[in-house]
Amino acid sequence: MLGSGLVARPLVQYLLEKTDAPLVVASNDRQRALELIAEHPRAQAVELDVEADQPLLRRWVEKSAVVVSLLPYVHHPTAARICVEKGVSLVTTSYVSPAMHALHDQAVARGVLLLNEVGLDPGIDHMSAMKTIRAVQEQGGRVLAFESYCGGLPAPEAADNPFRYKFSWSPRGVLLAGRNTARYLRQGRVIEIPAQALFKNPWLKNVVGIGDLEVYPNRDALSYQRLYGLEQAHTVFRGTLRYPGWCETMALFTAAGLLDDSVRPDSARKSWRQMWIEKYELANDASDSRLAAALQVSPAGRLFQNLQWLGLFSSAPVGADSLLDGLTQAMQSKMAYRPGERDMVVLQHDFQVQFGDRTPRRTSARLIDYGVPFGDSSMSRTVGLPAAVAAKWIWLKRIRLTGVRIPIEPEIYLPILNELHRMGIRIVETDGNE
Percentage of the chain lying above the pLDDT 90 cut = 94
Last residue of one domain, picked from the residues 281, 301, 334: 334
pLDDT band at 432 (very low <50, low <70, confident <90, very high): low
Answer whether 355's CB lies under 8 Å from 399's CB: no
Buried b (16+ CB within 10 A) or exposed e, 13-37: bbbbeebebebbbbbbeeebbbbbb
Residue 22 falls inside a structural domain: no
Sign of the four-CA dihedral 409, 411, 414, 417: negative
Q: Is 209 helix (H, G, I), strand (E, B) or coil?
A: coil
Q: Say if 298 falls within a structural domain.
A: yes
Beta bridge partners of 195: none
**Residue 265 preceded by cis peptide, ω within 30:** no
Question: What are the pLDDT digits (tens) for 37-49?
Answer: 999 999 999 999 9
pLDDT of residue 184: 98
Q: How far apart are CA 365 and CA 427, in angstroms?
A: 6
Q: Flag whether 206 is in a domain.
A: yes
Q: Who contacts 380 (Cβ-Cβ below 8 Å, separation ≥6)?
A: 6, 7, 8, 9, 10, 168, 371
Domain boundary (282, 316, 334) is at 334
- Express each pLDDT in 135-189 by its tens digit: 999 999 999 999 999 999 999 999 999 999 999 877 888 899 899 999 999 999 9
Q: Are residues 136 and 234 in the same domain?
A: yes
What span, in angstroms and rounded, lies between the C-alpha atoms of 256 and 324? 11
Domain endpoint, select from 282, 302, 334: 334
Beta-ladder partners of 68: 91
Same domain, 177 and 318: no
Quick check: is 114 in a domain? no
Mean pLDDT of the chain: 95
- The Cα–Cα gap between 349 and 351 comes to 7
Range of the domain at 315: 260-334
Question: In b/e form, how buried is each residue of 273-282, taking b as 16+ CB within 10 angstroms?
Answer: bebbbeeeeb
Both 132 and 179 in one domain: the answer is yes
- Amino acid identity of residue 434, one-letter, is E
Say if residue 238 is in the same domain as residue 268.
no
Give pLDDT tens digits for 260-304.
999 987 888 899 999 999 999 999 999 999 999 999 999 999 999
Whether the per-residue pLDDT at 433 is higher than 50: the answer is: no
Same domain, 345 and 362: yes
Residue 161 lies in a domain: yes
* Phi, psi of 36, rounded to the nearest 5 degrees: -65, -40
> Are 207 and 282 members of one domain?
no
Which residues are tagged catalytic? Answer: 121
Q: Are residues 183 and 310 in the same domain?
A: no
Whether residue 294 is found in the same domain as residue 149: no
**What stretch of H or E contains 130?**
helix 124-138
Instruction: Let me know whether 284 and 319 are in one domain.
Output: yes
**pLDDT tens per residue across span 313-368:** 999 999 999 999 999 999 999 999 999 999 999 999 999 999 999 999 999 999 99
The residues with which 119 forms a beta bridge, in sequence order, are: 123
DSSP-derived pairing of the beta strands 113-115 and 403-405 = parallel
In a domain, 322, yes or no: yes
Q: Tell whether 366 is covered by a domain.
A: yes
**Contact (Cβ atoms closer than 8 angstroms) between residue 94 and residue 404:** no
Q: Are residues 324 and 208 in the same domain?
A: no
| Per-residue model confidence (pLDDT) at position 6 | 86
- Amino acid identity, position 177: A
Identify whether residues 307 and 181 lie together within a single domain.
no
> What CATH number should be reported for the domain holding residue 175?
3.30.360.10
Q: Are residues 274 and 215 in the same domain?
A: no
Query: Is pLDDT at 434 greater than 70 in this prediction?
Result: no
Q: How many domains does the chain have?
A: 2
Please give the helix or strand (H or E) that residue 8 lies within, else none: helix 8-18
419 in any annotated domain: no
